[in-house]
Amino acid sequence: MELFYDFKGGDPASKAAEIDDLIEGVGLVEKRNDLGQSLSGGQKRKLSAALAFCGGSKLIIMDEPTSSLDISARR
């Protein structure tokens, strides 16, 4: 996530706090240090959503962001 944050030009002073908030917000705290390839399909979808939001994005367009997520994650 740090790489995407840097690519998107986010504020370096708030980088760590924003990434922590995003990881907690999508429910991937226990997978924080895992590689993306080791995540399940739903977890990869959550990671993709977090990557879209990182770096202070002004506009995000998502097509069916909750497909392939479990029922509790859709809320």
The count of structural domains within the chain is 1
Q: What is the pLDDT of residue 30?
A: 93
- Domain of residue 32 covers 2-74
CA 47 to chain centre: 4
Q: What local confidence, expressed as pLDDT, does residue 62 receive?
A: 82
Task: Quote the tokens at residue 41.
Answer: 């399909």
Q: What is the pLDDT of residue 45?
A: 87
What torsion do the CA atoms of 55, 57, 62, 68 make, to the nearest 10 degrees? 20
Element (H, E) at 30: none
pTM: 0.76
Single-letter amino acid, residue 7 = F
Written as six digits, the tokens of 45 are: 């979808």
Contact 47, 29 (CB under 8 A): no
Question: What is the block-wise mean pLDDT of the chain (75 residues), using blocks of 10 residues?
Answer: 88 91 92 90 88 86 72 60
